[in-house]
Amino acid sequence: MTTSPLTEAVGWQDDAACADTEPGRFFSSDEHTQREALNLCRGCPVRESCLEHALRHGERYGIWGGLREHERAQLARKRRRAA
């Protein structure tokens, strides 16, 4: 059986620390709100899966896997150079 990106995403998202959190918190431009979101990510059991999902699908906005947009862009560039 083949899994679609949506099926793949739902599997790890169910276990995310943010599963019952307002999604807007992760897309806010407010520094305080972003720090709250990042703190929630810190202890998340699926943080790595979230980050890999964002990198694989080119998520350009928001906090994913405990990283802000510019941090994910840096990581993606670093990985491309290492490949």
Tens of pLDDT, residues 34-48:
999 999 999 999 999
Tens of pLDDT, residues 37-82:
999 999 999 999 999 999 999 999 999 999 999 999 999 999 999 9
pTM of the full predicted structure? 0.84
Number of structural domains the chain divides into:
1
59 vs 36: CA distance, rounded Å? 20
Residue 39 in tokens: 């703190």
Beta bridge partners of 56: none
SS3 string of the chain?
CCCCHHHHHHHHHCCCCCCCCCHHHHHCCCHHHHHHHHHHHHCCCCHHHHHHHHHHCCCCCCCECCECHHHHHHHHHHHHHHC
Q: What domain range includes position 44?
A: 5-82
